[in-house]
Every structure is written in C-alpha cells, then in structure tokens.
Structure 1
C-alpha cells in the first residue's frame, strides 16, 4: 500500500507542472508582415508545431494562439530559431521498419505548416518534422513555392522480387536547381539526405550566386543548435529484496526485505540533433542496504545482519518518446557501479548466549548492477519506476548475495 501511495504522489507531483509555461522573448510575423513583439511559449519542439502560444507581456494573462494559416512565421532570440509558415504538399507516409514490411497507401498532406529555417539566400532551406517524426527538407525562393526534397522509402511488389526500395528524387531536384554551377550540381547528385550535408550545399550555392544576383538576398545559415545538457537532483524510495543463494551459510537463510531512501544528482546529455530523443544519463546516488536473515539447515537458529552504505555511479542511456506536448515518456537502461563507503552491520549471532561475530571477512566493496526503468517527464520534473538487480557484497563463489530493488524516483532539473 505504501508503494502505491508513493507512486501516486510522484505522479501527482509530476502532472502538477503541466500548467507551467516556458515563455521566451519572441516576435510574431503577421500575415501583413508586421512584427508583433512579445513572448512565445517555447516547447523545445521535436515535431514541428501545429500551433504556438503567444503573450504580449508576461504579466498579461491573455494568451493568443496562432496556427500556420494565421501568420507568416515567428522567431525567438534564445534559442535562436526562426519558423516560417508555408503552404506545402508533402508525403508524410510512415517509413519505420513495421510500415515498410508491407505495401501501404501513401499519405499526402497539403496544408500550411511551420518550417524551421536552416539556410537563406537565393534558395532557402527548411526542416519539417511530421507527426510520425519523419524528417523532411524543403526549399523555396522568391519565385519558387515551398517544395519538398523527396526522399521516399516504400515496399514495392515486383515480379522480379518484392522488397523495400528507396527513391532519392531529391538528388535530381538539387542538380536541376544548381545546374548553373557544374561542380555543385555534381555534388548535389551525390549528397546525403542529412541536415549538415544539405546546409553546406545550399550555403555554397547561395554564396556563389550572391555576387551576381540582381536582387541581393542575404545569405544566412541557422547556427548549430547545441542541445542543452541539463542537471538536477533526484530522490525517492527503494524497496529491496535479498534472495541469497548458494551452499555457503549466507545462502542458507530467509532474509527480510527492506525499504529506504535513495537520492543523488544526475545529468542528461543529448547525443546529437538527429538523435535528439536519445541521451546519456550519468547519475551519482547515495543508498543503503540493510537486512536481517534467519539461517536454516545445519545453521538453524543463527542470525546474520548486514548493512552497507553505497555511493553508486549509474551510466544510463535514455530514449525519450517524441510528443507534441510537454508530457514525454521515456525508458532508461544501463549499468550501475556501487562502492561501499561504510559498513554499518556485518554480524553473525550463533546463539542468544554468545557475542556477535564478524559474518563476512572482507565483504566485496564493489557492486555491479543492471538497471531498467520507465518514466515520464513534464518540463523539468520527472517521475520514474525503476528495477535493478545487483551481485551484492559476498566474496564467496558459493554464496551469492543477489540484490533486487524496485525504486520510485522523482527528479527535477535546473
């Protein structure tokens, strides 16, 4: 019952922050190309936003909501990001492993959307991430409407053999765009469908065209966005069981489960823009293990007590599921490395009329742990349910001190 109550408390604390906003200074470019200064609710969008929230001042409680059809775009100073609104016909068919294993109808979207600006000049380059988290690159110009650079993977049934086929139409599109520069047109026919490659190509062409352009178009490039490394604190409760096994005496007993606090500090380090939903999470935690065991068999009637304090360094990899809302579920997997910093109990009582003895000579000071967990993050607050299993403190090959722990954790970032 206590576990359930604690879990509910963590979830309530997490959902309590849904109402929070992250307003940063920004500018709305209206449909008449006027600038409306104020504050934009920045959500660190993974998928391109369908709507943004805007306030003219932080003290103003009235929010305005803008869809791509309502405005020409918006920009923010920190982080430095510019979105433009364009009417775009685009293929958003899923291209994940499951979808590519069978023939499916293509899904074409033909609506105004927000595109994130990557390069400007004679030709502008944009990025669009659709509702299926598929990344698209789009270009336009003064006299050229927004057009998708087409990179299509699909399952095709043929007499000669069915399978997944890739159409790299974007290479022909780029070669035609840059046809007046033979060197760049050749590079375009070989360029990879990746942000850095396409940005470099568009920037080179725009710089080439700028000196001879009749109407000067300023050449700019979106600065490399450094995904922020976040830090924070975490804490919660650990519910631990001790299924010791083996022929050694410590394996011949029944051990009490224990519960106790666990807490420490953490960092979340994103592993790159294209994998922005994958991160490396190191943690430094403080924890205690305490249990009492009643031995049986030839050791019936004897009692052992163990208690150790650990500093544990966890190295986790986290996958955060991309959503359009602040509520983002995630999973953690990784390893823990625990180091005993204090021995609180290590006693053996053979009978009530005798003194306590040392139960284990030189207990192992290093514990290895496998870790898995699921959680949810809302803005800077997260809650997680985690399971760990470790090899414990026994140095005896015939006495395995397996330690299993179910943990409920809450964390906040700074």
Structure 2
C-alpha cells in the first residue's frame, strides 16, 4: 500500500511539473522604469496570437502578476530567445473572413490605435516585427534607423463572384492589395528599386530578404554580419 501511494505521489509531482513547464517559461520583463524582472512568464501553447497581456511569476510558487502592454516596455522568453516589445501603433484590424468582408462597406475598415506586444523577427540597422492576431494572421511591422514604426499593410478585400461557363456553379473571390510595398519604398528609398520590390511577398522570409538587400546597399555588405534573425 505504501509503495502504491508513493508511486501515485511521484506521478502527481511529475504531472504538476509538466503542467508548469507547459504553461510557464523562464523570462524577463522590462519595466517602464527601465528595470528588469526575472522569473517565469506564461506561454500559451494552444494559441499563436501575440499576447494581449502577460502573466508573470517571480518564482515557481510565486503570485501571478498580470502586465498589459501599456505597463511595460517588453519581455523575453530567455530559453526560447523570443523578444516582444510594447508599442503603440495604428493598425488595420479589419476582419479577413469572407462573410465579414462581403458585408462590409468599402469605407468602414476597422482601423485601431492601440498598444500591443510585437515580436522581434530581425535586428539590424532596421528591425522587423510581427503582430499575430485574429485567426493566426501575421501583421508585419518595420522599424527604421530613427526608430519610426511602419505597419506593413496587406489589405484583403472582397472582389466579387466568378461564375463558371456552365452557370451551374460560382465562386466568391477575395483579393489582396500589397500596400506594404509602398511603405517599403518610402523607407528604402533609392536603395531598392521597383523591380526588386515587385516580387516581395507578405512573408517573413521574403521581407527579411528585401531588408538585407537594403542594408547591404545602404551600409555595405559587411553590415549583413551584424544582422540577427529570430
């Protein structure tokens, strides 16, 4: 009987430890005053969206403290090497669901000015961040050399209905408008040509490639050695 109880106690301890490991990661919070708080930060495994708030413990048994983006400068999951900063941005958060776009008037896009956590993806003379929202939608943000932020908009619009020749079926279509290329052009100026911008897709890989081309042009190829990707 004692052995059985001991086994169950060990199982309970292992289960508790596993649950903790799944829920919290070692991390550091950067406060608004410039201090650093080390401890454990909640990591939501079932969601890839950027956190709207973070839950922090100074120790495994410590009290949970909640921080909003407006309360801190940012945070980092140290073992995962994932860094987030808080930043006030004007974002186009219009729903990209077909039915919502179909019923939405052209002039009523959901533009919001809000402070959010954005994740650092690339760090050089310029920086690339991402804000993940909605149904796992990536919203990329570029920061230039003077710390100006440029939300890179890739607008999704309802295009209409395509009817097939047999008239028995139809398909509703969405279209994307790559507004982000205009923002890239403004930041990169003459270092990146329209021809180079044309094939740039709205993906981390493609945006990183064009940023590197800009930095090599603006600062020389040796500058690429100091660029860090996350």
TM class, shorter-length: 0.7 to 0.9
Q: Distance in 2 between matches of 1:155 and 1:48?
A: 26
Q: Distance in 1 between matches of 2:58 and 2:88?
A: 27
How has the CA–CA distance of structure 1 residues 30 and 124 changed in structure 2, closer, same or farther, with 3 Å as cutoff?
Answer: same
Aligned to 2:84: 83
State the Cα RMSD in Å: 3.1
Q: SS where residue 190 of structure 2 aligns?
A: coil
Q: By percentage of residues, which structure has more helix? A: 2
Aligned to 2:158: 155
* Cα displacement string for residues 200-245 of structure 1 (whole angstroms, at most 9, x for unaligned residues): 2223333544459xxx99944333xxxxxxxxxxxxxxxxxxxxxx
Equivalences for residues 306-317 of structure 1 within 5 A: none
Aligned to 1:68: 69
Is residue 191 of structure 1 aligned with residue 194 of structure 2?
Answer: no
Shift of 1:152: 0.5
> How high is the TM-score relative to the length of structure 1?
0.43
Equivalences for residues 130-279 of structure 1 within 5 A: 130-155=133-158, 164-182=174-192, 186-210=195-219, 219-223=226-230
Bigger radius of gyration: 1
Q: SS where residue 195 of structure 2 aligns?
A: helix
Kept in 2: contact 1:175–1:186 (CA 8 A)? no
Q: SS where residue 181 of structure 2 aligns?
A: helix
Q: Distance in 2 between matches of 1:110 and 1:18?
A: 36
5+ residue gaps, structure 2: 1-17, 161-171
How has the CA–CA distance of structure 1 residues 77 and 108 changed in structure 2, closer, same or farther, with 3 Å as cutoff?
Answer: same
* Cα displacement string for residues 180-208 of structure 1 (whole angstroms, at most 9, x for unaligned residues): 3145x532233011111112222333354
More deviation, 201-210/119-128: 201-210
Q: SS where residue 70 of structure 2 aligns?
A: coil
Q: SS where residue 98 of structure 1 aligns?
A: helix
Number of residue pairs matched by the alignment:
199
Equivalences for residues 356-371 of structure 1 within 5 A: none
5+ residue gaps, structure 1: 1-16, 224-414
Kept in 2: contact 1:24–1:41 (CA 8 A)? yes
> How high is the TM-score relative to the length of structure 2?
0.74
